[in-house]
Structure 1
Amino acid sequence: MTRIGTSDLDIFPLSLGGNVFGWTADRDASFAVLDAFAEGGGDFIDTADAYSAWVPGNSGGESETIIGEWLAARKPEGVVVATKVSQHPDFAGLAAANVRRAAEASLGRLGVDAIDLYYAHFDDESVPLEETVGAFGELVADGLVRHVAVSNYTAERIRGWIGIADRLGVARPVAVQPHYNLVHRNTVEETIIPVAQEFDLGLVPYYSLASGFLTGKYRTTDASGQSSPRAQGAAKYATEQGLRVIDALQEIGDAHGASIAATSLAWLRAQPTVVAPIASARTVEQVPDLLAGARLELTADEVAHLSSISEWTPANA
């Protein structure tokens, strides 16, 4: 188990991404994935109130609703659920009143008394940071939220949030959620990880598998025929350098009897302050690799080799 920052949340070191629930995984498929994850030892689920408002016919909150129905049906013990605010069409931004209404709506969909980990999903510079920090602090004081976190914030804004929280005497963030993986490293390693180390924040990276590229599914530099947004997102990494990363992952994975995906997640877990990479599964068959990635321990030399070979920034990454 791994502790998230300074919180009391001890979790299995992998977070199951809920972005696919109500999108590419319907209710039954989502229940099956959640069952497989929990049966395999997983206990940390990540979602957002906006998932999946981008799907035609959806309005946002579909993922939270499915997770809430699963929690009610299965009644699992010790499951930690993280959700986020600022992007739901009905609750956009981080004004104090909006944050409160959005949290109450999320609580209703999830069917829980308190949100374990509540993220500011994206920074909202149209609202004074002090107002947002105060709103999150009140949610904790009122028992609606156990712990506060930030996602997609710059190092400067994270420092600002912590300084305001201390001045107001409210809860500090305990976690940061950045875009971070083997082929998307520079900004996080240069700016976010130092702040996380200074303030004992846990990193919970998203896009941990680079839209599927780090599963080894894309093994050619020819991106033609990749029509889906996910495939196009992965294809940009399929350069000669990117494929060398995949080759190295396969070689190291083979030595452990592990998949490329599991090996990539293991590298991410080995980075400073990282507590639990987020990875999604549309099907039950995809779950074992994710669980394996939470248990695989690479040697220091293997981690260093992967770090060395992936020192490159893809175009448009």
Structure 2
Amino acid sequence: MLASWSVEHRPLGSGGLHVSEVTYGNWLTHGELVEREAALACVRAALDAGITTFDTADVYAQGAAEELLGGALRGVRRESVEVATKVCLPTGEGPNDRGLSRKHIMESCHASLRRLGTDYVDLYQAHRFDDRTPLEETLLAFDDLVRQGKVLYLGVSEWTAGQIREALDLADQLGLPRRIVSNQPQYNMLWRVIEPEVLPLCQREGIGQLIFQPLAQGVLTGKYRPGEQPPDGSRAASGGRAPRFIGRVLGDRLLDRVQQLRPLADAAGLSMAQLAIAWTLSRDGVSSAIIGASRPEQVSENATAAGIRLDASLLAQIDDLLGDLIDRDPAKTAQMMSVKPEWAQPAWPNPSLR
């Protein structure tokens, strides 16, 4: 059963699609770190909280995440949820098992629909920019999927402002409707590289932001403390790929500063996680923040960040406290997969999947 809209909804950009302020995503959880029953319980908790938007990708757990999400949503009225997935990153060893060619887009979309158990996805996103494929080929393939009714809206993820601008201009030249309604970037209190260029462009063009990592891999929850081992049960202490992603933000200098956010959260009557998510949702141009979870109670707690409004003085205190640890370098939008922030310790590895 869906809740009676306890989570508020926002338009995704200037289009007609509305998404829940908090989106449930299953990167690094479903099919990897979380057992099937726990994953199903998390989806049920999301629905109970009023979350209607669910984000996944063909590459997450090599398709297992899509399959699990599709199974979890079976029996839910299809029209009452918004399902988003992605295409571009490698799903196999072959040269055509990646990228944004017509071949891979068409094959990947059909495979995603089968795994999700649906006739269409609400939002289909280009997981990265593909400089090996002519952009015209990519845009026409996406447009065909929309015309076929297999995709309702289109988005991109971690594209630079220049790449988004190029796609919009080319769509105009080709006489295509401007179907890109969303961008999915990493964005949080610490990582603000989209602010100088991507956000202003998207706001002018009516493209909404579907944010991932609002909690900076859990670091902004305050559960990782300087000089201490990661707590049992956390992603950083788990097996699989999670520790190498989280290791990029576990420097003691950063963790010490994050702990100083706790009195601000306490004064506002919020948990650290709620503060971080509410901060993301307070930014202009943001339509929704994606959360992941390994336990249903995490979903329930984080979902309550929807609807929380932070006052200007609290936002200013956060900026003052984090100060020189905030990264706003727009060049790192394109380099996000390999750049090591000044505060990362140990060195930021090269995550190939997100």
Q: TM-score, normalised by structure 2?
A: 0.81
1:31-75 Cα distance to aligned partner (Å, 9 max, x none) = 1000001101111111000111xxxxxxx1111111111222344
Aligned-residue RMSD, C-alpha: 2.1
Residue correspondences, number = 308
| Aligned twin of 1:55 | none
| Aligned twin of 1:300 | 312
| Aligned partner (choices 178, 182, 186) of residue 185 of structure 2 | 178
Structure 2 unaligned runs (5+)?
1-8, 328-340, 349-354
Provide the C-alpha distance between the structure 1 equivalents of 2:254 and 2:112, rounded to a whole number of angstroms. Answer: 42
Provide the C-alpha distance between the structure 1 equivalents of 2:126 and 2:221, rounded to a whole number of angstroms. Answer: 29
Provide the C-alpha distance between the structure 2 equivalents of 1:232 and 1:285, rounded to a whole number of angstroms. Answer: 25
| Aligned twin of 1:201 | 207
| Aligned twin of 2:74 | 72
> How far did 1:170 drift?
3.3
CA contact (8 A) 1:147 1:171 kept: no
Is it true that 1:31 corresponds to 2:40 in the alignment? yes
> How does 1:1-317 map onto structure 2 within 5 Å?
1-19=9-27, 20-52=29-61, 60-75=62-77, 78-90=80-92, 91-168=97-174, 169-185=176-192, 187-221=193-227, 228=238, 230-231=242-243, 233-235=245-247, 236-248=249-261, 250-311=262-323, 312=325, 313=327, 314-315=341-342, 316=344
> How far did 1:175 drift?
0.5
CA contact (8 A) 1:140 1:171 kept: no
CA contact (8 A) 1:36 1:287 kept: yes
Larger relative helix fraction: 1
| Aligned twin of 1:57 | none
CA contact (8 A) 2:222 2:258 kept: no
> How far did 1:76 drift?
6.1
1:97-150 Cα distance to aligned partner (Å, 9 max, x none) = 210111111111111121101100011100011111111111111111000000
> How far did 1:233 drift?
4.1
What SS class does the counterpart of residue 181 from structure 2 fall into?
A: strand
1:137-177 Cα distance to aligned partner (Å, 9 max, x none) = 11111111000000011110010011112222134310001
CA contact (8 A) 1:214 1:260 kept: yes
Provide the C-alpha distance between the structure 1 equivalents of 2:152 and 2:270, rounded to a whole number of angstroms. Answer: 36
CA 223–238 in structure 1, closer or farther in 2 if over 3 Å, else same: farther
Provide the C-alpha distance between the structure 1 equivalents of 2:81 and 2:291, rounded to a whole number of angstroms. Answer: 16
What SS class does the counterpart of residue 193 from structure 1 fall into?
A: helix
Q: 1:247 corresponds to which letter in structure 2?
A: Q
CA contact (8 A) 2:58 2:91 kept: no
Provide the C-alpha distance between the structure 2 equivalents of 1:160 and 1:133, rounded to a whole number of angstroms. Answer: 11
| Aligned twin of 2:333 | none
Provide the C-alpha distance between the structure 2 equivalents of 1:237 and 1:181, rounded to a whole number of angstroms. Answer: 15
CA contact (8 A) 1:221 1:240 kept: no
Structure 1 unaligned runs (5+)?
53-59
Provide the C-alpha distance between the structure 1 equivalents of 2:145 and 2:89, rounded to a whole number of angstroms. Answer: 18
